[in-house]
Structure 1
Amino acid sequence: MTVVASKAEQGHYLTQLIADQAHWLADADGAQGEGTAPDPHQLLDAALAACTAITVRMYAERKGMALQDVVVTIRHKEEGGVYQMERQLQFIGDLTEQERARLTEIAGKCPVHKTLSGRFEITTQAQ
């Protein structure tokens, strides 16, 4: 998959992002941004939240669980050079404690969680 970022038509740091048919915006954080789009750290948090929600819903559906929704909340902080993410899950539906425990375990198996927990490298090429 390829994501392309470039200056948006409006806004000082507002940035358009394009991946295939999907288009969305990002902005600088804090006082430098306009507050009309998520900043890069919020996008990172959103990737984990979305992947978790999708993975949990797909699993529950395959297993016939009575999950109506899962609300995923991500909070982050940086401390001592470490980016710390806290994930909270709220399962909505008539689920047993065993099902809730299994869905919590499945949350840790979403692809973005695996990526963020593993080793990865970034290479840069300039033109």
Structure 2
Amino acid sequence: MAHGTATIGKDHYRTEITVGGHALVADEPAALGGGAVGPAPYDLLLASLGACTAITLRMYADRKEWPMESVEVGLHLSGQHPDRRIDRTLRITGLDAEQSARLADIAERTPVTLTLKGGLPIDTRLV
């Protein structure tokens, strides 16, 4: 399935990421000692959810041959563990209320949504 690597050297806290054959840079904001040269880790988490949501809704609308012009996925992470939450808003243009409601329902079952809601075991080992 998916595979990636993240490498950090002595730069505070610039991290080179390779995933899916693409290079990304992550960092922390200056207020946390980073150089703000890329999204912070939670920003990348929101980006993953937003991309999966938008892509899934586009696929569904295309399959149904609905005239969706665009979908904008707004995301906001708030709170601290165990009360942390993501609020997601959808702005859909080109569809009627019934079609938009169906897409909002579909958004609750995108692959990344289900992964985040269900949790995911992480096994760590030294190599």
- Do Structure 1 and Structure 2 share a fold, with TM-score over 0.5? yes
1:63 aligns with 64
Q: Distance in 2 between matches of 1:53 and 1:17?
A: 23
2:121 aligns with 121
Q: Point out which structure has higher relative CO (alpha carbons under 8 A, 6+ apart).
A: 1
Following TM superposition, where does structure 1 have runs of at least 4 consecutive aligned residues deviating by more than 3 angstroms?
A: none
Task: Sort the Cα spacing of 1:7 and 1:119 in 2 relative to 1 into closer, same or farther, 3 A.
Answer: closer
Residue type of the partner of 2:114? K
**Cα RMSD (Å) of the superposition?**
1.7
2:86 aligns with 85
1:21 aligns with 21
Q: What percentage of aligned pairs have identical amino acids?
A: 34
2:45 aligns with 44
Structure 1-normalised TM-score?
0.90
User: Larger strand proportion, structure 1 or 2?
Assistant: 1
Q: Distance in 1 between matches of 2:80 and 2:17?
A: 29
**Deviation at 1:80?**
5.2
Q: Distance in 2 between matches of 1:27 and 1:46?
A: 14
Q: Distance in 2 between matches of 1:109 and 1:51?
A: 10
SS at match of 2:69: strand
**Deviation at 1:109?**
1.4
Structure 2-normalised TM-score?
0.90
Which runs of no fewer than 5 residues in structure 1 stay unpaired?
A: none
How many residues matched?
125
Residue by residue over 1:88-127, the C-alpha shift from the partner in whole angstroms, topping out at 9 and shown as x without a partner, is 100021x111101001011111100010011321111023
